[in-house]
Structure 1
Amino acid sequence: MTRMSLTTRMSLMFMLAVTAVLTVAGLSFNNLSRHHFKMLDQQALNEKLHSTQRILTGMNSIDQFSEFKPELEALLGAHRDLTALIIDSDGKLLFADPGPMNVPEKFRTTPNNNVWEWRDQEQMYRGVTAQAIVAGQDKPLTVILVYDVTQHMSFFETLERWFWIGLVISALVSAALGWMVASSGLRPIRQVTEVAASMSAKSLKERIPLAPVPKELQNMVLSFNAMLARLDDAFVRLSNFSADIAHELRTPVSNLMTHTEVVLSRKRNIEDYEDNLYSNLDDLKRMGRMIDDMLFLAKSDNGLITHENKSIELLEIVEKLIEYYRLLADERGISLTVSGRGSVRGDVLMLHRAISNLLSNALRYTPEGQCINIDLQQKGMSTLIVVENPGATIAPEHLEKLFDRFYRVDPARREGSPSNAGLGLSITRSIVEAHEGKIWCTSSDGKTAFHIELPSIGMRAV
């Protein structure tokens, strides 16, 4: 089933709203007008009736009726649409102006001052029936006053007919106006759609201008532009990541090919073949570690990392790592110190790997004869791990990007040893985030520190 467009629905809603308002207003005006004219007719009939009753009750006997007849004619004959009938108790017509009228019997006995309505074919009448007491008469006279309101009713019927015609025209006009207003108001949405439809890897820099957008849609446009910025950033990072992967894998593959070609260029003794195989093995191990790291990051990106949830004493992990890196540190005269303690829940091997990556990174950039300090702090709901080392200050614009894959502060040179693929900090961040923590870096006054904040024991579900 095809759904109507938003413009069509808004136009129909606008048309229905206008039609409903006009219908209520028109019907209300019609009913109020009818009621107003009815009240005017009733007032006029009552005034004529009271005047007639006063004349009739002023007679001393029915014999004087002919003397008062001119006065009645003057009173009741002034209105051309009024018919007046006076009937005695025997049903004899005593007075009829402008002439006799065949009033239905049921209206001849209607209680005093009750206005009744009567339709005779195309004619519409509104009248009142009352009684008048005459001196010397045992039974009262019946006075019937009837207004011919056909002209009024014809006016209202014409008014209603034109009202419905006008309502149809107004509905069509309002639908057209609603379509124009909706189309104009939804133009920014069409712009968003056009930009979204034209999006490609080469046009992610395009943005929707905010100036012509209505206030109600500015948040949507801002969100869309922000989404484009995130997509652009993610695409650039993905492109760089792909290029970096190719670059990182090209070196060991080239080494393997070169070594193999050299060895196969002529016959060699067994020792040369063994040396080539050992060299190839080193490159294969490096490639294997890189592939494992990339698989780990891919699982992290898709939320597939699962880990144990055991109670861990961080001091024990740090002391083991210090013992492991002690020999490498002593060769360069670098000292390793640890202070404080803290406990968290998590996976021992994963946290061991995260802290090991930070220590390895610190050793790589710490000048000879300096000191690396690991500080553990238990702070209420969280535990803080700080690995601080002296060295060159990192510019602020690089701090947030240090955890990107293959990111280099100085892209013109390769940092670290050949075994360093530039994935260690990315893996560390993935491990920390898998433990519901956060990691950041600070660098100033010749000191760089990596901070890891993890929930303390009891703050994470077991």
Structure 2
Amino acid sequence: MKLSLPIAWRLATMFAITAAVVFSGVAFFLYHFLSDSIRAQVRSELEFHHTLLDPVIETRHTEQEWQFVHRKLDGMAQEGSRVRYWIKSPDARYSYGEPFVLKTGWKMPESQFGFVKVRDPVKIWAVLSRTIPAYEGRPPIEFLVALDATAYIETKENFTRVMGIASGLGILLVAVLGYWIAKLGLLPVRRLSRQAYGLPPNNPRERLDIAGLPPEIRELAVSFNNALERRESAWLQLEGFNADVAHELRTPLTNLIGQTQVALARERDLGVLQDVLESNLEELERMSSIVNDMLFLSCAENGHRAAELSEFSLQKEAQKTVEYVEYSFAERHLAVRVQGDVQVRADKRLFHRALANLLSNSARHAHADTEVTVSIEARGEYVWISVSDRGDPIPADQQSRLFERFYRGDAARTRSGVHHGLGLSIVRAIASMHGGTVFVRSAQGINTFGFSLLRSI
């Protein structure tokens, strides 16, 4: 399993990397600034020596005059060992001084200005050379002035060493302080974490305390509380669902057990046993219907979408559904009218099932000798299918719960042994599988149940 670093370590590492980049940039700038300053200062000093001596050498061409040049250079060289002079010439009479004994790997600079490292003793010299043109009988010569730059270079190296140490210590200090700051800044997160760990498992209504939290952490806590709220809703729904399932299955199971026990209590003839088996079969079919509907709702709530899609006319298919449930309407002398039509791409089988559930609901609750209207209407990218009938008003507090599993809004429906309260829940699931929703209205004696579908999914 891949381990991830704690946030405090990550922040400290990022602080250290940032400090390394900043310190390195500053050190690089200062190093080059100091190097350029030293080079400029050393060159300026060498140029000063050239300014003093170049005019003395340029006009000397005889051997007697050249002796004066030697004495002049000897005198200036004796003033201190920081400066050396020598003259390179193809004519030995116009040469002066001995070349440096360079340290292994070093050579004289090919340009006018550069640095060389010499032996015995080990020093670093800055050299500036100038070519003096021929004058009468004297050939052109190269005049070199060397300045002991060891102190300058050592200053630069010491500065570089100190800067490196200071940068390293600075990066380490920033990392340590960054870790401390991160730990301090994450205190609300740790407090929130302790609260989350302390939430009791048997109390889904408990929430995190968001008072005094920073805005960023508050947003996280609010999101977590919203998740807890959804968990509470799911928990309560699951508790209610378990109770409903137990209640719905208990009745047929009790009937099955009771009838079977009575049948086995004494000898029965074949006709009585056949009646018992037929009654048991009805109860088993009811239980099978409940289980199948629950499996369908479970698939729908797990995000399953309608799969068997085809193009069809809603009015045409609605007429087929009306013919399928026509017997239920005929018993109560109900007329059915279908109005409107929209061409859609949907699952035809699921559409029939949803509309049949709504029509069956109307057939049970509409007033006798009235008309039931199936309306089909397009609104934008959705199509709305509704079933309206005349019936008893539905209280407003019940309307929002009519599409819940096993919910029955009145005593008559509660006593029903045939319908187990999943029809409208299945309508909602089918609408959800087609990207739609459900709705209910009750006004002026007209009750309307319906659902929407995307015209093409």
Please confirm whether the aligned pair reaches a TM-score higher than 0.5, indicating the same fold. yes
The residue that corresponds to 2:423 in the other structure is 424
1:204-243 correspondence to structure 2 within 5 Å: 204-208=204-208, 222-243=222-243
Distance 1:162 1:270, change over 3 A: same
Distance 1:315 1:299, change over 3 A: closer
CA distance in 2, matches of 1:213, 1:426: 41
Q: Does 1:28 align with 2:25?
A: no
The residue that corresponds to 2:440 in the other structure is 442
Of stretches 1-10 and 301-310 in structure 1, the one that deviates more from structure 2 is 301-310
Superposed CA deviations along residues 19-42 of structure 1, whole A, max 9, x for unmatched, are 233223213321221122112211
CA distance in 1, matches of 2:2, 2:269: 79
Distance 1:87 1:237, change over 3 A: closer
Of stretches 74-83 and 379-388 in structure 1, the one that deviates more from structure 2 is 74-83
Q: Does 1:316 align with 2:302?
A: no
CA distance in 2, matches of 1:319, 1:35: 96
The question of whether the paired residues in 2 share the 8 Å contact of 1:339 and 1:376 is answered with yes
Superposed CA deviations along residues 180-236 of structure 1, whole A, max 9, x for unmatched, are 344455556656766666677535444455566666666655544433333332222
CA distance in 2, matches of 1:42, 1:379: 87
CA distance in 2, matches of 1:380, 1:110: 85
The question of whether the paired residues in 2 share the 8 Å contact of 1:322 and 1:336 is answered with no
Aligned-residue Cα RMSD (Å) equals: 4.5
The residue that corresponds to 2:295 in the other structure is 295
Number of residue pairs the alignment of both structures matches: 447
The residue that corresponds to 1:328 in the other structure is 331
| Structure 2 alignment gaps of length 5 or more | none
The residue that corresponds to 1:337 in the other structure is 337
1:349-388 correspondence to structure 2 within 5 Å: 349-367=349-367, 370-377=370-377, 382-388=382-388
CA distance in 2, matches of 1:133, 1:437: 96
Superposed CA deviations along residues 137-188 of structure 1, whole A, max 9, x for unmatched, are 5246664322111111111222222222223322322322333344455556
Residue 450 of structure 1: SS of its match in structure 2?
A: strand
| Structure 1 alignment gaps of length 5 or more | 95-99
CA distance in 1, matches of 2:150, 2:60: 35
CA distance in 1, matches of 2:206, 2:30: 56
Distance 1:336 1:378, change over 3 A: same
The question of whether the paired residues in 1 share the 8 Å contact of 2:332 and 2:369 is answered with no
TM-score (norm 1): 0.76
Superposed CA deviations along residues 301-338 of structure 1, whole A, max 9, x for unmatched, are 453986574745224224314622223322xxx55433
Amino acid in the other structure paired with 2:443: D
Structure 1 residue 292: Cα displacement: 2.9
Superposed CA deviations along residues 345-385 of structure 1, whole A, max 9, x for unmatched, are 55555433322211222344434565432223356755432
Of stretches 318-327 and 270-279 in structure 1, the one that deviates more from structure 2 is 270-279
The alignment-based identity, stated in percent, is: 25
Q: Does 1:103 align with 2:71?
A: no
The question of whether the paired residues in 2 share the 8 Å contact of 1:85 and 1:93 is answered with yes
Distance 1:166 1:401, change over 3 A: farther
Distance 1:389 1:85, change over 3 A: same
Distance 1:129 1:413, change over 3 A: same
CA distance in 2, matches of 1:250, 1:42: 105
Of stretches 219-228 and 188-197 in structure 1, the one that deviates more from structure 2 is 188-197
Distance 1:189 1:389, change over 3 A: farther
Q: Does 1:180 align with 2:180?
A: yes
CA distance in 2, matches of 1:105, 1:322: 113
Q: Does 1:406 align with 2:403?
A: no
1:223-302 correspondence to structure 2 within 5 Å: 223-258=223-258, 280-302=280-302
Residue 438 of structure 1: SS of its match in structure 2?
A: coil
The question of whether the paired residues in 1 share the 8 Å contact of 2:102 and 2:116 is answered with no
Distance 1:183 1:205, change over 3 A: farther
Distance 1:132 1:361, change over 3 A: same
TM-score (norm 2): 0.77
Residue 178 of structure 1: SS of its match in structure 2?
A: helix
CA distance in 2, matches of 1:33, 1:329: 105
CA distance in 2, matches of 1:205, 1:289: 35
The question of whether the paired residues in 2 share the 8 Å contact of 1:293 and 1:423 is answered with yes
Of stretches 337-346 and 229-238 in structure 1, the one that deviates more from structure 2 is 337-346
Structure 1 residue 270: Cα displacement: 8.4
Structure 1 residue 4: Cα displacement: 4.4
Structure 1 residue 241: Cα displacement: 0.3
Structure 1 residue 425: Cα displacement: 0.8
1:50-89 correspondence to structure 2 within 5 Å: 50-57=51-58, 63=64, 81-84=82-85
Distance 1:345 1:11, change over 3 A: same
